[in-house]
Structure 1
Amino acid sequence: MPASECAIRCRPVAAALVLMVAVAFQAPPAGAEQLRFFTLGTAALTGNYYAAGRAICRVINREGPADLRCSPEPTPGSQYNLLALEKGELDFAFVQSDWQHRAHEGRGAFAGAAMKELRSVMSLYAEAVTLVARTDAGIGSVNDLAGKTVDLGNPSTARRGTNVRVLSAIGIDTGLFGRITELSSATVGPELCAGRIDAALIVIGHPNAQLAELLELCELQLVSIDGPAVRDFVDKSADFETYAITPGTYQQVRRPVRTVSTVATLVTRSQVSDDLVAHVARTVIARYETLAEQVPALGTRDLEKMRRAGLTAPLHPAAAAVFDASPGGPDD
């Protein structure tokens, strides 16, 4: 065929081939367009939030339905999760109960921007304000932090906000600390073991695998946060309770370590569909023992606490229906 004739006749064929290739590369695999993805905001990869999120998503993805996929998203933590949830960047998220309270009521960092569409799904486990100190730092109580180098967390994190709130409420003047550092949770351990800080306040569920490893690695102790001022704070608080790390939780803990705790809560938005919220809530309740084997901080399933503890935002109607219908619930 003459070149001039091919230029005329072959052009439509070439164009069709280009279009077919483009479509082939752009088209999703068969059935993929029908998959429903949803996200669960957690926290750092090394913490209980991420471990719990990964365990929950693994069960949901394994047991179906086949078109549903759950993705556990590592994040900076509660405050970030709440903001991302409000923007629709997350469908579900773990947040501390004190930050859930602030967000829904429009207090603190959420002043003037209350999240009225925030909805509770359930509470999971206590998150204790935990004072970890070097054994050679001379810290026997929270009152001994004066003059010491203490890590309170990055200013943009929920950990920092919780620590500052608790210390202020019980009359501890952080201005008397020798130095305040602003470390991420992942870097607290190495700094303690290296002796560059004397103590750190972390907010975690117990037992915690990372803390257990840290206690084995270097000479550290858990110090009680207790006394009349602490008990008065809890009595007046809507989102804190007393807590004790019991002997044997860690090999080094031989007597109760008393402190205060928030609650790890699972939240969503009012706009998230009833069927999705119900499926997530039903799966967690039904598979709680399996999840607790993977994340010991979850402890024993207690439906009454899961439905009420630390939940300031209204319970999502679909989650409420699941609790009502669950064995041990009011409709049982």
Structure 2
Amino acid sequence: MKLRTKNNKCIKLIKGKAMFYRALALALLLILPSAVQAENYSIGTGGQSGIYYPFGGALAKVWSDKVPDVNVKAEVTAASVENTIKVVRGDMIAGIAMGNVVLDAYKGEGKFRSEMPVKTLFALYPNLVHTIALEKSGIKSLADLKGKRISLGAPASGTAVTAAALLASVGIDVKKDIDAVYLNYGETTNALANGQIDAGFIVGGQGVGAVTQISLTHKINLIPVSDAESAAFIETNPAYSKYTIPADVYKNVGAVSTLSVWNVVVVSAKMSDEMAYNLTKSAFENMGEVRKVVKVAEATTPENANRLAGVPLHAGAQKYLDSLSK
């Protein structure tokens, strides 16, 4: 009799625990649906000393806060080329990249052996070619770079692509005529300051932090791109245009003629129209929050969204932009 009573108690205890755990599981499903269902994504940016990283971080926060069931983080990368490849592979939901790199990917040119299924959501801001040397180096023109130690930018970056193309357009072969190294923004300015290189390329937004910082501690030259050099380069690289960096953007540096190319948000052509629409809509409707983080986002407007000629906007992005005119 006692054994039967004990067995009954055990059965009741087991049933009670089972009911408790079922109720707990149901409560968690009701309370935390977004945590269970939200998909984790990343947006490819660049090095932490450039503008891509904070810009990507600001966009990631907006998308995570405003797009249902989406959680996005900013990923440090080597920038444009890497981001474009990873977007196509499906490793990232989006990437920030220079327009010339995305155009090359779309056409299957340059670093890309075949046409890549890429589209853009919108253009961000123009990147400027900064060719930097210390004033004491005596380097004052692109031609003066021949025979020198030059940082072309991080490997697989848009900066490296641009630097090599610009030097080639003035008759300098990066494999034969210079001692080329591949350093990111911060590494480039540190190497300049320490005398490890003679000059370096940084292709970034106006007021980019790495250039600003070295101009505060060293006298620098920004090497101009002449009108003739610009014309020759743009003829074969139509994603670029002429640009003049105003005086005093960088300490003790006067106005400098150079080249610019727009940065874009690149995505896979396979992205759903709904996702592209939601990402574009939330970005533009909350661009004020992004501008608190990066001033260059002042150029990120619906009017500038299609500034990269030659690569189509994603249909979902275009749908949102079309809705603004209705």
TM-score normalised to the size of structure 1? 0.83
Deviation larger for 31-40 or 186-195: 31-40
Deviation larger for 144-153 or 118-127: 144-153
Q: Secondary structure of the residue that 1:164 maps to in structure 2? A: helix
Could you tell me which amino acid in structure 2 is paired with residue 74 of structure 1?
V
Q: Would you say the 8 A contact 2:121–2:314 is kept in 1?
A: yes
1:111-126 → structure 2 map (5 Å cutoff): 111-112=113-114, 114-116=115-117, 118-126=118-126
Find the counterpart in structure 2 of residue 310 from structure 1: 308
Structure 1 stretches (4+) deviating beyond 4 angstroms?
Answer: none
Q: Would you say the 8 A contact 1:120–1:311 is kept in 2?
A: no
Find the counterpart in structure 1 of residue 286 from structure 2: 287
CA distance in 2: counterparts of 1:55 and 1:232, whole angstroms: 37
Over residues 280-326 of structure 1, what are the superposed CA-to-partner deviations in whole Å (9 max), with x where a residue is unaligned? 2112222334423321223334433222x124332111101111223
Find the counterpart in structure 2 of residue 176 from structure 1: 177
Over residues 203-253 of structure 1, what are the superposed CA-to-partner deviations in whole Å (9 max), with x where a residue is unaligned? 111121232112112232212122313213214432111122112322323
Over residues 60-118 of structure 1, what are the superposed CA-to-partner deviations in whole Å (9 max), with x where a residue is unaligned? 334x2464322222212111111111111111111111110111111122123x113x1
1:101-250 → structure 2 map (5 Å cutoff): 101-112=103-114, 114-116=115-117, 118-174=118-174, 175-177=176-178, 179-250=179-250
Cα distance change, pair 79–311 in 1 and its aligned pair in 2 (3 A): same
Cα offset for 1:181? 2.2
CA distance in 2: counterparts of 1:169 and 1:230, whole angstroms: 9
Sequence identity percentage: 22
Q: Secondary structure of the residue that 1:324 maps to in structure 2? A: helix
Q: Would you say the 8 A contact 1:193–1:219 is kept in 2?
A: no
Over residues 98-148 of structure 1, what are the superposed CA-to-partner deviations in whole Å (9 max), with x where a residue is unaligned? 110111111122123x113x1111111111221010110001111111232
CA distance in 2: counterparts of 1:183 and 1:249, whole angstroms: 23
Residue 44 of structure 1 pairs with residue 53 of structure 2: no
Find the counterpart in structure 1 of residue 258 from structure 2: 259
Cα distance change, pair 227–285 in 1 and its aligned pair in 2 (3 A): same
Cα distance change, pair 235–167 in 1 and its aligned pair in 2 (3 A): same
Cα offset for 1:49? 0.8
Find the counterpart in structure 2 of residue 268 from structure 1: 267
Cα distance change, pair 267–156 in 1 and its aligned pair in 2 (3 A): closer
TM-score normalised to the size of structure 2? 0.85
CA distance in 1: counterparts of 2:232 and 2:311, whole angstroms: 24
CA distance in 2: counterparts of 1:173 and 1:57, whole angstroms: 39
Q: How many residues align?
A: 311
Cα offset for 1:155? 4.5
User: What RMSD, in angstroms, separates the aligned Cα atoms of the two structures?
Assistant: 2.8
Q: Would you say the 8 A contact 1:265–1:311 is kept in 2?
A: no
Could you tell me which amino acid in structure 1 is paired with residue 55 of structure 2?
A
Could you tell me which amino acid in structure 1 is paired with residue 86 of structure 2?
A
Q: Secondary structure of the residue that 2:136 maps to in structure 1? A: coil
Could you tell me which amino acid in structure 1 is paired with residue 40 of structure 2?
F
Find the counterpart in structure 2 of residue 277 from structure 1: 276
Find the counterpart in structure 1 of residue 88 from structure 2: 86
Mark the runs of 5 or more structure 2 residues left unpaired by the alignment.
none
Cα distance change, pair 293–252 in 1 and its aligned pair in 2 (3 A): farther
CA distance in 2: counterparts of 1:148 and 1:138, whole angstroms: 12
